[in-house]
Amino acid sequence: MSKSSKKILVIEDDNITRNLYLKGLEAKGFESVGAANGRVGIQQVQEHVPDLVICDITMPDMDGYSVLTTLRQDPLTAIIPFIFLTGSSTRADVRKAMEMGADDYITKPSTLDELLRAIASRLQRQANLQYWCATKLQKVAKPVSVAKTAVTPPKSIFPNIPQLKEVFDFIEAHYHQGITLCDVAEAVGYSSAYLTNRVARQTGETVNCWIVKRRMAGARFLLQNDDRTVEQIAKELGYQDVSHFSRQFRQHHGLPPQAWRREKTCCVTKTGETNYYSVTSK
């Protein structure tokens, strides 16, 4: 990961502190951009699309919490790593920052080395996630033709929640590898308990439920559009035991996989620019 290719935005209303960090980052090979307040910071994000944002919390006119909320609501800026830099270190403040979707929280006074370590950690995690998505999403089920018509995979099952994009991206890239809650939590940098509470609070479902739901969506697609056996499909979806897969499938669909496959037929209809499945009983 080349530092020279990484752009860091520092949003800090104190001129001395802001310039100190900007000069320190430039000395370490980063391209740095400064903003004296939250509103200017948002404009700079939209103009420069930095690789990471460092933001003070207590600022006049628009505080750091409002900056983070605004950035997380825009799909173009929602996944940019965001580090809070503040003089407050109470547990309530830290928890609020993390619940809002901040990636890290550094208290002042802090050294440049502390800031650089936090930046390196977040940039590396972002690079890892992008690599996983780029490589693993290439491994998709081979589509088959139904009545000489191309079949496309179903649309994403995950809700559009920017704060959980990393979580759902990781599940999408790895659901067929037998991942667990612990794997997801480690990938996105949170404890299992914290991540469980966060996902459940925002979606009403646990991380494990989303993993199973993604596997079941993959199972339905493969059972309808692939002639492999149930055991082969189970292994494709990350199940070591076909009996476990069959039990889980039956819990969600009321029938074991083979019986469900016999009862369903796949038809392709076209609505607008997107292909959808129309599944009917025989």
Percent of the chain past pLDDT 90, that is, above it, reads 29
CATH (residue range 3-133)? 3.40.50.2300
* 249's tokens: 């499938």
126-132 contact pairs (CB < 8 A, 24+): 126/51, 126/52, 126/79, 126/81, 127/1, 128/187, 129/166, 129/169, 129/170, 129/187, 129/188, 132/170, 132/173, 132/174, 132/187
Comparing 3-133 with 139-281, is the CATH topology the same? no
- Band of residue 277 on the pLDDT scale cut at 50, 70, 90: very low
Beta partners for 56?
A: 85
- 270 pLDDT above the threshold of 90: no
The answer on pLDDT for 26 being more than 80 is: yes
Tell me the domain boundaries of the chain: 3-133, 139-281
Annotate 116-149 with b (16+ C-beta within 10 A) or e (fewer): bebbeebbebbeebeebbeebeeeebeeeeeeee
The rounded mean pLDDT for the chain is 81
pLDDT at 149: 39
State the pLDDT at residue 32. 93
The DSSP H or E segment spanning 266 is strand 264-271
Architecture of domain 139-281: Orthogonal Bundle (1.10)
| Higher-confidence position of 47 and 110 | 47
Peptide bond into 109 cis (omega under 30): yes
Q: What is the DSSP letter of 149?
A: B
